[in-house]
Copies of this chain bind each other. A is one copy, B any other.
Amino acid sequence: MINDKLPYIYYGGDYNPDQWPEEIWQEDMRLFKLAGINIVTLPVFSWAKLQPSEHTYDFEWLDKIIATVAAEGIFLCLATSTAAQPAWMSRLYPEVLPVDIDGRKRTHGSRVNFCPSSPVYRMFSQRLAVKMAERYGHHPSLLVWHIGNEYAPHCYCDTCASAFRTWLQNKYGTLEVVNRVWNMSFWSHTVYEWEEIVPPTNLNGNNKCFQGIALDYKRFMSDAILECYQGEYDKIKEITPDIKITSNIWGLFNGLDLKKWADHMDVVSWDSYPQMNEPMSNVAMRHDYMRGLKDGQPFMLMEQTPSQQNWQPYNSLKRPGVMRLWSYQAIAHGADTVMFFQLRRSVGACEKYHGALIAHAGHEHTRVFKECTQLGMELQVLGDTLLDSVTESKVALLFDIDTWNAVEMTSGPNVDLDYLKQAQKYYKAFYDLNVSVDVISPLSDFSKYELIIAPVMYMLKPGVSDRLKSFVKQGGTMVTSFFSGIVNENDLVTLGGYPGELRDLLGIWVEEIDSLQPEMTNKIVIDSAFGELYGEYECGLLCDLLHLEGAEALGVYGRDFYAGMPAITRNTFGQGEAYYVATDPEQRFLEQLSQTICERLNLATTHQAPEGVEIRSRQKDDKTYTFVLNHNAYETAILLNAGSYKDLLSHRVYERTLVLEPYGVAILEVCK
């Protein structure tokens, strides 16, 4: 529960009054109230203003702003403002500047442009956090702390190299172990002194060369950056133990171990910037991933744009209704806040063409402002109804950042293999059925699920295969795919035959993995219908040549020298079943496979919705709130299950049919 002080869905976003003269502030307040804003995030990038020099701090202007905001009854998400160090720091302490993967020492500018291992950066950033906490930590309007901003870039400087060696000593103890787990006898890489270990960069080809080193460096870097966050966290927590702390994740990316990061956050928050033409299933999956980071706990939508973006190649406007639709989609997937970057469009520098509540025109008479206002009013009416409600899914999709990195670093078999895209394909198959999916770590609790989807489970960390076997043995169903069970957490191959530790669970042995040239395809042939699956399907990318060891073949390859070999198998294991998809099939195959499995498991679908309509539910106090989201640009009719339903937004009651306007939304509650 993040919303105890403010029992509403937080509605507001990044506010940068320090970029504006004071006379604008009062006008901002008027417009915020008009739009129903109840929270502002600040000061995200004001370190240089807060600390004009090494020994000088200036909080007066911030005092004034906070007073202004609070006076209007608007609450605060307080940022520690440490994402961009002041220029004086880079000049006086050049060590704070990072070295990039090409070995280039960076110069001052931009943001998140510091070495995460730098003691100077850490000292100054924690000092500022302490000052912020001491000064504002007990302010009645303070709701949540926001540390840094979109942590991400990696550094390869000597300070980091040295810290990496210490990190390795802590992890592995001796060089003997390091040499073994990185397979350093390959290419004469055996090291005898810790100092002989150097970061993997474009200057030694190590990123695609020694996956063991590169993976550990990525993990170290995630940890080093996490220590920057954690350093501030600990100091603040001491001063304000009751205020929740977060940092905004900039999306589903593989630069940080997001799962580990989430363990150090009181609440997950993230920034959602879909591309205009991106499949909505991808957006939904990202929300589900963020919700999964803390095992289903509601998260904060920390940033989205009210209208357009600036940093994509083509920054289209959000069509009328889309901002509202996507806001409710976030809530449907577990968000308890709807927050924008940014509240007022800046006048200069690179984000001046990023959308905002208040346009450069400066007034409320714009389409965007009106749409924001409508949403603000609706959220006020919703009050605390939805707060802390949860999502109940019977299906989990396993997704793991380390596996993603390992697949990306692999030299062979196929450059087009994209771990995220594979996950998205499987997710989409269930999304299109409106079956709720939790996106979780392979180390999360499986007990509440009936079905686990785990495409390209390339890397198996310790314990994962046992957990999966136990899950299936007890009656669970599992679906995995080609390129699974291949390596351990150090990217060392599990010897004895693919898919390694999963071999008995899946009842197969994969002898070879064919990698198809881009112009090649194969096909899956299913002669004897298995549920919805029947006939021929295109496939490609990789094709496992496998032998049955207990499993049965549901379909076989239709072409090439391995025509007739199994392409999809099912294995009974204890009380459950494990499916293996040996190649990368067309989406239709996955649709029919997911439908078949859902039918077999009686995973009840929901109201009957045509294409483009997403349906998701949140539960609370025995009540179910069902979000019906029309992603179509046209009016769409949904056939409702028996019963009558009240729409929390329109306050109308529906039976049998719900007709939604283009990009329309309803939140249905069963009428008792």
Residues on B with C-beta less than 8 A from A16 are: 185-186
User: A615–B238 Cα gap in the complex (Å)?
Assistant: 81
Residue A198 CB within 8 A of the other chain: yes
Interface string of A363-374 (1 = CB under 8 A from B): 000111000000
Tell whether, in the assembled complex, residue B88 and residue A496 are in contact, meaning their CB atoms are under 8 Å apart. Answer: no
A206 to B100, CA, bound (A): 16
* Copies of this chain present: 3
Instruction: Please report the C-alpha to C-alpha distance between residue A428 and residue B501 in the assembled complex, in whole angstroms.
Output: 49
Q: How far is the CA of A589 from the CA of B560 in the complex (A)?
A: 34
Whether a CB of chain B sits under 8 angstroms from the CB of A87 is yes
> What separation, in Å, do the CA atoms of A351 and B183 have in the docked complex?
11
CB pair A186 B348 closer than 8 Å: yes
Say whether B190 contacts A49, CB under 8 Å.
yes
- Given A208-B350, A492-B348, verify A48-B511 contact (CB < 8 Å): no
Q: Please indicate the chain B residues that have their CB under 8 angstroms from the CB of A110 in the complex.
A: 187, 204-206, 209
A614 within 8 A of B: no
The chain B residue sitting closest to A109, CB to CB, is B204
Report B-chain residues with C-beta under 8 Å of the C-beta of A108.
196, 198, 204
The answer to whether B212 and A515 touch across the interface, beta carbons within 8 angstroms, is no
State whether A413 and B360 are in contact (beta carbons under 8 Å apart), knowing that A514-B316, A517-B276 are contacts in the complex. Answer: no
A266 is an interface residue with CB less than 8 A from chain B: no
Question: Of the candidates B186, B192, B201, B496, which one forms a contact with A19 in the assembled complex, judged by CB atoms under 8 Å apart?
Answer: B186
Query: What residues of chain B lie closer than 8 Å to A111, measured between beta carbons?
Result: 187-188
CB neighbors of B among A165-203 (8 A): 182-193, 195-201, 203
Q: Can you name 21 A-B pairs with beta carbons within 8 Å?
A: A19-B183, A47-B188, A48-B191, A49-B185, A49-B188, A87-B196, A108-B198, A109-B189, A109-B198, A109-B210, A111-B188, A186-B346, A189-B349, A316-B516, A345-B493, A347-B492, A348-B490, A353-B412, A360-B494, A361-B496, A368-B512
Q: Is the CB of A183 within 8 A of B348?
A: yes
The chain B residue sitting closest to A311, CB to CB, is B411
Q: Say whether, besides A203-B106, A317-B512, A512-B366, A52 and B561 are in contact (CB < 8 Å).
A: no
Give 17 new A-B contacts, CB below 8 A, not counting A109-B206, A110-B209, A353-B411: A48-B190, A53-B192, A87-B196, A87-B197, A91-B193, A110-B204, A182-B348, A210-B350, A308-B413, A316-B517, A316-B520, A317-B545, A348-B491, A354-B412, A359-B512, A360-B498, A368-B512
Residues of B with C-beta under 8 A to A254: none
Tell me, yes or no, whether A307 is within 8 Å of chain B by CB.
yes
CB contacts under 8 Å to B, within A32-57, are 45-49, 52-53
How far apart are A112's CB and chain B's nearest CB, in angstroms?
Answer: 10
